[in-house]
Amino acid sequence: MNQTTLEMQIVENSRNAGKTYEFDEVHEDTQPARIWFQESDEGLILFVVFYTRACRWSRCLGCNLPSKMSRRHIGYQSLMAQVDQVFSDPEVVRRGPSIRKVIASNNGSILDEETFSSTALVYLLAKLNLNLPKLKVLSIETRPEYVDFAELEFIARVLAEAETPVQLELSIGFEAFDDVIRNQMYDKGLSLETFESLVANVAPYGYHVKCYFMQKPVPGMTDEEAIEDIRRAIDYLAETADRQGVAINMHLNPTYVAAKTMLEKALRKKQFTPPRLRDVAEAASHARGKRLSVFIGLSDEGLAVEGGSFIRDGEEHLVEELENFNRTQDYDILDGIRSAGT
């Protein structure tokens, strides 16, 4: 596909999804879009979002992450310079010996060679091996259609050469469990058959899988329906993990309202409110005792419109408690939040 056609595809998909934002064409090509740290039971996580061409799907209802990317091609030289910037960042240098996991993202698909160069990916792997001696896991965000198992096998071989062998994890956007909500309303374009095929294919290699879910991702869902959707997703993922023998993590994001999306229009018409953190704790608590780890996303990445965040005034203490859950996987913390809300 030529570059002009790719650019037209991205713009058309965004507009067809009712998105009115523009893309970020002024960001410096040699600088990553964003770097931050998270704490989990796996240890210190470095989350890197590289600045690349925007996600080619770009149709998901409430997502404006492509607005932080470019319509145009970003070449491998610029992406390699971004990798260099990550590893020269003072906080990354200071905390490097403590980093146990890296999540590599471009707000789309790292494994789509049309948006993230294969040359730059190999360069990133080499820099990880050289600079993060205690790294245990590399998580790569991608849509399933860009997964090439020969490529994954090569990536895993490179990671195995690190000072301590590094586990490969594939991070997949799932968003909602209900088929109608996921594919007809949210327009994710992911079937259960596609997901199950992916899991079956990674099982022999021992790769891990992370699934991103959003609690209450579309207008029209009640808080109770949103909780039930996550509970059904937990049961499904746990059963899949048991059956396939694959380690699966649910990354549960409370939905925030991003600017210039259909969710913002629904918010202004009082047809949508973000989920409450107590409801998120209620949903996540369903994973207690199951073969599934849960990480609760607690950042709106600075993209929530006024009144569109899931963090209400006076609920900052709940963020701290949920962050503690992420670090410990102690379900008593969730039970405490639930009981305090009754």
Reported as a single tens digit per residue, the pLDDT across 20-79 is 999 999 999 999 999 999 999 999 999 999 999 999 999 999 899 999 999 999 999 999
Tally of domains within the chain: 1
Q: Which residues pair with 209 in a beta bridge?
A: 170, 248
Decide the pairing of beta strands 34-40 and 43-49. antiparallel
User: d(Cα 5, Cα 53) in Å, to the nearest integer?
Assistant: 13
pLDDT in tens, 137-150: 999 999 999 999 99
Q: What is the pTM of this model?
A: 0.95
Q: Which domain holds residue 333?
A: 3-340
- State the residue for tokens 């991702």: 217
Helices (H) and strands (E) in the chain, counts: 12, 8
Q: Is 181 strand, coil or helix?
A: helix
Average pLDDT over residues 333-338: 96
pLDDT digits (tens, 9 = 90+) for 200-257: 999 999 999 999 999 999 999 999 999 999 999 999 999 999 999 999 999 999 999 9
Average pLDDT, the chain: 95
The CATH code of the domain that includes 22 is 3.20.20.70
How far apart CA 70 and CA 51 sit, in angstroms, is 7
